[in-house]
């Protein structure tokens, strides 16, 4: 069972997405659809694409995106060792400014792991 923080994040994201889509025109809806399509498995598998999304989110310093991709990585069986390497890539590309986001990212990963307990 997911921790309370994980459940709250997922619930809030879903609620806000519903509001966005309620007021969206076709361009915004197309973008949302494209986002979902890009992360399907193809030449690259889903876990690899989610790890790429995690690196990009870390470099762009988007905490919500980092949480989202960490959750997807967790769901797709990405290991802590893989997460550590992915975050190292994000750190080297993004620099020390990513450190606060790394802290919150590892905190969220820890929350995801609490669902295994």
Residue-range domains of the chain with CATH:
4-114 (1.20.1290.10)
Where does residue 88 fall: left (phi above 0), alpha (psi -120 to 50 degrees), or beta otherwise? alpha
| Angle between helix 99-114 and helix 63-75 axes, rounded to 10 deg | 40
Quickly count: other Cβ atoms within 10 Å of residue 63's Cβ.
15
Distance, in Å, from the CA atom of 75 to the CA atom of 67, rounded to the nearest integer, reads 12
pTM of the predicted protein model: 0.91
Tens place of pLDDT per residue across the chain (117 aa) = 678 999 999 999 999 999 999 999 999 999 989 988 999 989 999 999 999 999 999 999 999 999 999 999 999 999 999 999 999 999 999 999 999 999 999 999 999 999 776
């Amino acid at each position: 069972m997911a921790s309370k923080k994980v459940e709250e994040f997922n619930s809030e994201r879903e609620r806000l997405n519903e509001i966005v889509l309620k007021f969206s025109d076709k361009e915004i809806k197309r973008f949302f659809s494209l986002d979902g399509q890009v992360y399907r498995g193809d030449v690259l598998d889903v876990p690899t694409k989610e790890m790429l999304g995690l690196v990009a989110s870390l470099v762009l310093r988007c905490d919500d995106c980092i949480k989202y991709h960490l959750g997807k990585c967790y769901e797709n069986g990405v290991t802590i060792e893989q997460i550590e390497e992915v975050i190292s890539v994000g750190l080297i590309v993004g620099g020390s400014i990513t450190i606060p986001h790394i802290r919150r990212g590892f905190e969220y990963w820890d929350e995801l792991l609490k669902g295994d307990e």
